Chain A
Amino acid sequence: MSYLEYNVKHVPSGPRKILFLNWPLALLLGAVASVGFLMLYSVAGGSFSPWAEPQMKRFAAGFVIMLFVAMVPIWFWRNLAVVAYAVSIALLIAVEFFGAVGMGAQRWIELGPLRLQPSELMKIGLVMILAAYYDWLPVKKTSRPLWVVIPVLIILFPTALVLNQPDLGTAILLLTAGGLLMFMAGVHWGYFAVVLAALGALITAVFQSRGTDWQLLKDYQFRRIDTFLDPSSDPLGAGYHITQSKIALGSGGWTGRGFMQGTQSRLNFLPEKHTDFIFTTLAEEFGFVGAFSLLGLYALIIFFCISSALQNRDRFASLMTLGIATTFFLFFAVNMSMVMGLAPVVGVPLPLVSYGGSAMLILMLGFGLVQSAHVHRPRGAA
């Protein structure tokens, strides 16, 4: 069995494993989730229902899942990578046919009491299969064109399915996370340079085409881009969200208006105040100090993940941890950029803080894998 090839002599076993968890990381996750509870309590007007209480239960469940996943040896999960990816793909296809329509897109399917978003699951599945792929692939083949095309297809297939839902935010997330994982696995930087150059050329071409005969985007799509670049051009239409969001952030000032004193969210000027735009409430009520602290907590989580990955000499464990960290990073980076007017409004929640079941459970599952990799890392001499 393959796992026997690991040097397991020094890997802890039995209930003692719990002592070898990456506890600082677990505590940071708890801290970030607590910020979420606080904000959900606030936007509900000082009430645990309807958001804070279910969110706490979900986090508790998620924490248990994380511990459970962490206790299972990492090589077990590696062997499950292909299955995880296959199941995710199957569910993404299933959602095309049986999925419920929410917010104008097919996103979830009901599995008994569980409402599952396959695109969430795919975020973990993709990281796992790519990490397993590069674990399996001999290092010297990494940059050969054939062996580059395979992971690209692995990434593009689910991305296309998600885009079809349509869920642009998740699609970009998958594409970027997958690309970064390939980069970290050691694929020659020349490929990335070519892709980036092509992307740049495409964007330039799109903008150049505006108003000409060969216009590449429809007029309304251009107008959306305009609105993003200058929200004040359409303050009550598409620019409304971003304008109100910036007002909420800005009015927080240094130290904010105080807990439960935010007017923008309480008076419903903000859309999606308990989900995608929850950061604005934090920024309004606790100001720059509060918002920057949350950013700091996120950065620490990334730091502990990366440092754990770099200490881990197992290729799969290391790549997977980096992949999960990158996915997590992309979550909060895209969300914060969006509410601060640096990126267009796409539906990406603030990880662990925004109200939402699947995202929370999937993330905790992902951190469970990170913990498992940490607990079961090879120790002693190579």
Chain B
Amino acid sequence: MRRPAKDTAASHRKISRRGLIVGGLQAGFVGLLGFRMRQLQVDQADEFRFLAEENRVNIRLIPPARGEIFDRNGVAIAENEPAYRITIVREDAGDVEAVVARLGKLVELDPEELERAMTEMKRSAPFLPITVADRVTWEDISRVAVNGPALPGVTPEVGLSRHYPMGRDFAHVVGYVGPVSDRDLSRYEDPPPLLRIPRFQIGKVGVESRLEEQLRGSAGAKRVEVNAVGRVMRELSRREGTGGATVQLTIDSDLQNYVQARLGEESASVVVMDLQSGDLLTAASSPSYDPNKFVRGISVADYGLLRDNDHRPLASKTVQDAYPPGSTFKMVTVLAAMDAGLVAPDETVWCPGHLEVSGRKFHCWKRAGHGHMNLEQSLRESCDVYYYDLALKVGIERIAEMARRLGLGQAHDVPMSAVTSGLVPDKQWKQVNRGADWVIGDSVNASIGQGFVLTSPLQLAVMTARIATGRSIAPRLIKTIDGIEQPGTPGESLGLNENHLRQVRRAMYAVSNNRRGTAYGSRIIADEMRLAGKTGTSQVRNITAAERARGVTRNQDLPWERRDHALFVNFAPYDNPRIAVATVVEHGGGGSTAAAPIGRDVTLQALYGEDPPLDAYPSKDRSRIKAQQERLARERPLRGAPSSDQA
């Protein structure tokens, strides 16, 4: 290569000059970079630091333990028990199919659940645990744990699940919990984040639902550091949640168990109310169902059986069903008449078996008639004509007003689902709802608790309690929440004439203690335990004149759903009332034959606090009662024991 003088001064100067220019440009750019660095790292540092924290830190909720529910004596009704499940982490398992196949040999896997788990696993991040078997037994968990080395990625996990040790006996009072549904969420304007935790359970019906806020507790939280794909790297801090409040019911579980057993598969309900405090000692509705099945997720077939059963096991009959009260309403009519000063106890009414009112014949249940009836006789023998006559005198407005004073026609404040307010009709109600004028015949029907009048068993118990005490006593279902006694309503005086009340009570005493009383067959002969009550038989069909002419069909000959409802209300002991009981047997036939015996058994059981001595019963009943007590004693422990299929 040719090489002339290279390092000429001119060339070197040029390079130096251009080199310095480029060097200067570079220095300028370095300055720009430094300035940008300062801008990002110093001036906007706070903003970016916040964003970095937001990237990094994730808040995870820790579900609190749900509050437990006990009866008035501290017996568990709803509790939390450990529930075991098996999860698989895809990335730890490696060959998921093989691991699942091996797992399937140890534990029975539900193919449907397994398929869902496999789909979920493909969709979600590889480090997330996916449940493949839920509610497995302790034995299964042990088998999985022992075989751990052969099952990479498989982890037995334990959580808490609701369990109802009393099974079906409290299904209608306490209800059950279940997974949060869209409908549950829609009830909140701003649903608590807790409800979005997978597998979180929420109260669906009954106390579980109505006291949801108290029972739920508040969520704990842990701050975890996550990486860019959401994998938890470590826990930064943790605040445990507060468990839900412990709730104590006023129900006496021994009595409740007894009553459920006593009702058996009859479509019936019983309410027992304490006359001191208004505490509901029992609210039994039968037939019932096992709430534990709902917690687990009830099968379509099982649910179909419950739904289609004509005895309606899902209905909480004590509070949500309203029946015509029939003759149990007669105390209301007579008290209204006495309060208005329109009747004296000794005044008599002639009962020829019917009464003709504005051209229409209203029949007494006794076709031949009762003859002369005074107040006590009319209630004792349940003469209808006597009350027809009263209705004509007092009118519906005063009857309705008395009914409301005694607790009918209003939804009592108990935390159960779908508490009905029943119906106490008056002129305005009929005008608004039926668009028709009130006619005198409506009053006549209402006077014996037929026609439009509807009452729930709870309302009947309240009515009886108010007659027995003269106070505006109201029911209480929740005794304590977190140990704090809940206010009850022992009630103020109703302002009724004590004399009038005494007359009615005495007549009710005669119902079951006078040889001619309709519930004489269901009397108690232990002197200090005597009961006072009233039977009722309410028609669910119209008896046509033609049928009446050829003779009213007997209940036993009718299909079940057209038979009369049997009712019985009572309080006891007569001398010193402690409890009020309302018994309704749907389509049971006559009040005195179907409802009163149950009322008496329940009353004695409640008063003695255990199986009553046989000598409280009339001697001819004793052998039958003894057999019944033995049978129920055999059934009850089985009901109370934890159900065996809890896994």
Hey, which bits of chain A sit against chain B, CB under 8 A? Answer: 2, 5, 79, 135-136, 138-139, 180, 183-186, 244, 246-254, 263-264, 266-269, 283-284, 287-288, 291-292, 295, 298-299, 302-303, 306, 309-310, 313-316, 318-319, 322, 326, 329, 333, 336-337, 340, 342, 378, 382
Contact sample, A vs B, 22 pairs, CB 8 Å cutoff: A2-B1, A139-B8, A139-B14, A180-B22, A185-B15, A186-B18, A247-B52, A248-B48, A249-B41, A250-B47, A250-B49, A251-B52, A263-B52, A264-B55, A267-B233, A269-B56, A288-B37, A292-B34, A313-B7, A315-B11, A315-B12, A340-B33
| The one of A138, A283, A326 that contacts B37, using a Cβ cutoff of 8 Å | A283
Interface 0/1 of B44-82, CB less than 8 Å to A: 110111011101100000000000000000000000000
A80 to chain B, nearest CB (A): 12
Interface 0/1 of B318-341, CB less than 8 Å to A: 000000000000000000000000
Q: Is B41 a contact partner of A322 (Cβ separation < 8 A)? A: no
Q: In the complex the two chains form, what is the Cα distance from A329 to B32 in whole Å? A: 14
| A residues near B550, Cβ cutoff 8 Å | none
Q: In the complex the two chains form, what is the Cα distance from A320 to B395 in whole Å? A: 120
Q: Is B15 a contact partner of A186 (Cβ separation < 8 A)? A: yes
Q: Is B11 a contact partner of A288 (Cβ separation < 8 A)? A: no
B225 to chain A, nearest CB (A): 7
Q: Is A337 a contact partner of B33 (Cβ separation < 8 A)? A: yes
Q: In the complex the two chains form, what is the Cα distance from A186 to B27 in whole Å? A: 20
Q: In the complex the two chains form, what is the Cα distance from A252 to B44 in whole Å? A: 10
Known: A251-B45, A254-B42. A184 touches B18 (CB 8 A): yes
Q: Is B7 a contact partner of A310 (Cβ separation < 8 A)? A: no
Closest 7 CB pairs of A and B: A250-B48, A251-B52, A267-B227, A313-B7, A288-B41, A253-B45, A268-B228
Chain B interfacial residues counted at CB < 8 A: 49
| A residues near B49, Cβ cutoff 8 Å | 250-251, 253
Q: Is B20 a contact partner of A310 (Cβ separation < 8 A)? A: yes
- Is B392 interfacial (CB-CB < 8 Å)? no
| B residues near A269, Cβ cutoff 8 Å | 55-56, 227-228
Q: In the complex the two chains form, what is the Cα distance from A247 to B34 in whole Å? A: 17
Q: Is B30 a contact partner of A299 (Cβ separation < 8 A)? A: yes
5 further interface pairs, Cβ-Cβ under 8 Å (given A250-B44, A302-B23) = A139-B14, A249-B37, A267-B225, A319-B15, A337-B33
Q: Is A184 a contact partner of B33 (Cβ separation < 8 A)? A: no
Q: In the complex the two chains form, what is the Cα distance from A268 to B36 in whole Å? A: 24
Q: In the complex the two chains form, what is the Cα distance from A105 to B1 in whole Å? A: 40
Q: Is B42 a contact partner of A249 (Cβ separation < 8 A)? A: no
| A residues near B42, Cβ cutoff 8 Å | 253-254, 288
Q: Is B18 a contact partner of A251 (Cβ separation < 8 A)? A: no
Secondary structure dominating the interface of B: helix
B484 to chain A, nearest CB (A): 46
| B residues near A266, Cβ cutoff 8 Å | 227
Q: Is B4 a contact partner of A138 (Cβ separation < 8 A)? A: yes
| B residues near A79, Cβ cutoff 8 Å | 1
Known: A79-B1, A186-B14. A378 touches B19 (CB 8 A): no
Q: What is the chain B residue whose CB lies nearest that of A135?
A: B6
| The one of A185, A291, A299, A314 that contacts B6, using a Cβ cutoff of 8 Å | A314
Q: What is the chain B residue whose CB lies nearest that of A248?
A: B52
Q: What is the chain B residue whose CB lies nearest that of A4?
A: B3
- Is B40 interfacial (CB-CB < 8 Å)? yes
Q: In the complex the two chains form, what is the Cα distance from A302 to B20 in whole Å? A: 12
B263 to chain A, nearest CB (A): 62
Q: In the complex the two chains form, what is the Cα distance from A298 to B22 in whole Å? A: 16
Q: What is the chain B residue whose CB lies nearest that of A318?
A: B15
B141 to chain A, nearest CB (A): 34
Q: Is A246 a contact partner of B18 (Cβ separation < 8 A)? A: no
Q: Is A184 a contact partner of B37 (Cβ separation < 8 A)? A: no
Q: In the complex the two chains form, what is the Cα distance from A309 to B26 in whole Å? A: 15
Q: What is the chain A residue whose CB lies nearest that of B38?
A: A288
| The one of B10, B12, B27, B55 that contacts A318, using a Cβ cutoff of 8 Å | B12
| A residues near B15, Cβ cutoff 8 Å | 184-186, 309-310, 315, 318-319, 322
B444 to chain A, nearest CB (A): 77
Q: Is B7 a contact partner of A291 (Cβ separation < 8 A)? A: no
| A residues near B41, Cβ cutoff 8 Å | 249-250, 252-254, 283, 287-288, 291
- Is B646 interfacial (CB-CB < 8 Å)? no
Known: A185-B15, A264-B55, A322-B19. A298 touches B30 (CB 8 A): yes
| The one of A5, A185, A254 that contacts B18, using a Cβ cutoff of 8 Å | A185
Q: Is B22 a contact partner of A183 (Cβ separation < 8 A)? A: yes
Secondary structure dominating the interface of A: helix
- Is B142 interfacial (CB-CB < 8 Å)? no
Contact residues of B between 605 and 637, Cβ < 8 Å to A: none
A26 to chain B, nearest CB (A): 20
Q: Is A340 a contact partner of B36 (Cβ separation < 8 A)? A: yes
Known: A183-B22, A186-B18. A382 touches B30 (CB 8 A): no
A344 to chain B, nearest CB (A): 15
Q: Is A246 a contact partner of B34 (Cβ separation < 8 A)? A: no
Interface 0/1 of B201-228, CB less than 8 Å to A: 0000000000000000000000001111
A188 to chain B, nearest CB (A): 11
Q: What is the chain A residue whose CB lies nearest that of B4?
A: A138
B26 to chain A, nearest CB (A): 5
Q: In the complex the two chains form, what is the Cα distance from A268 to B6 in whole Å? A: 54
| A residues near B225, Cβ cutoff 8 Å | 263, 267
Q: In the complex the two chains form, what is the Cα distance from A248 to B51 in whole Å? A: 9
Q: In the complex the two chains form, what is the Cα distance from A139 to B48 in whole Å? A: 53
- Is B303 interfacial (CB-CB < 8 Å)? no
Q: In the complex the two chains form, what is the Cα distance from A184 to B18 in whole Å? A: 5
Q: Is B12 a contact partner of A249 (Cβ separation < 8 A)? A: no
| The one of A180, A247, A382 that contacts B51, using a Cβ cutoff of 8 Å | A247
Q: In the complex the two chains form, what is the Cα distance from A136 to B33 in whole Å? A: 37
- Most chain A CB atoms below 10 A, which of B9, B34, B38, B48: B48
Q: Is B19 a contact partner of A5 (Cβ separation < 8 A)? A: no
Q: Is B33 a contact partner of A310 (Cβ separation < 8 A)? A: no
- Most chain A CB atoms below 10 A, which of B33, B41, B53: B41
Q: Is B23 a contact partner of A340 (Cβ separation < 8 A)? A: no
Q: In the complex the two chains form, what is the Cα distance from A333 to B36 in whole Å? A: 12
Known: A183-B18, A267-B56. A306 touches B34 (CB 8 A): no
| B residues near A322, Cβ cutoff 8 Å | 15, 19, 22
Q: Is B55 a contact partner of A184 (Cβ separation < 8 A)? A: no
Q: In the complex the two chains form, what is the Cα distance from A251 to B27 in whole Å? A: 27
- Is B365 interfacial (CB-CB < 8 Å)? no
Q: Is A313 a contact partner of B48 (Cβ separation < 8 A)? A: no
Q: In the complex the two chains form, what is the Cα distance from A303 to B30 in whole Å? A: 12
Q: In the complex the two chains form, what is the Cα distance from A164 to B194 in whole Å? A: 55
A296 to chain B, nearest CB (A): 9
| A residues near B55, Cβ cutoff 8 Å | 244, 247, 263-264, 267, 269
| B residues near A326, Cβ cutoff 8 Å | 22, 26
Q: Is A333 a contact partner of B29 (Cβ separation < 8 A)? A: yes
Known: A246-B48, A299-B30, A318-B12. A136 touches B1 (CB 8 A): yes
| A residues near B30, Cβ cutoff 8 Å | 295, 298-299, 302, 333
Q: In the complex the two chains form, what is the Cα distance from A315 to B55 in whole Å? A: 54
Q: In the complex the two chains form, what is the Cα distance from A382 to B8 in whole Å? A: 9
| B residues near A263, Cβ cutoff 8 Å | 52, 55-56, 225
Q: In the complex the two chains form, what is the Cα distance from A247 to B54 in whole Å? A: 10
A362 to chain B, nearest CB (A): 20
- Most chain A CB atoms below 10 A, which of B18, B19, B229: B19
Q: In the complex the two chains form, what is the Cα distance from A250 to B3 in whole Å? A: 55
- Is B493 interfacial (CB-CB < 8 Å)? no
| B residues near A267, Cβ cutoff 8 Å | 55-56, 225-228, 233
| B residues near A329, Cβ cutoff 8 Å | 26, 29
Q: Is A268 a contact partner of B229 (Cβ separation < 8 A)? A: yes
Q: Is A315 a contact partner of B6 (Cβ separation < 8 A)? A: yes
Q: In the complex the two chains form, what is the Cα distance from A254 to B38 in whole Å? A: 9
| A residues near B38, Cβ cutoff 8 Å | 288, 292
Q: What is the chain A residue whose CB lies nearest that of B29?
A: A333
- Most chain B CB atoms below 10 A, which of A250, A254, A264, A267: A250
- Is B16 interfacial (CB-CB < 8 Å)? yes
Q: In the complex the two chains form, what is the Cα distance from A249 to B14 in whole Å? A: 41
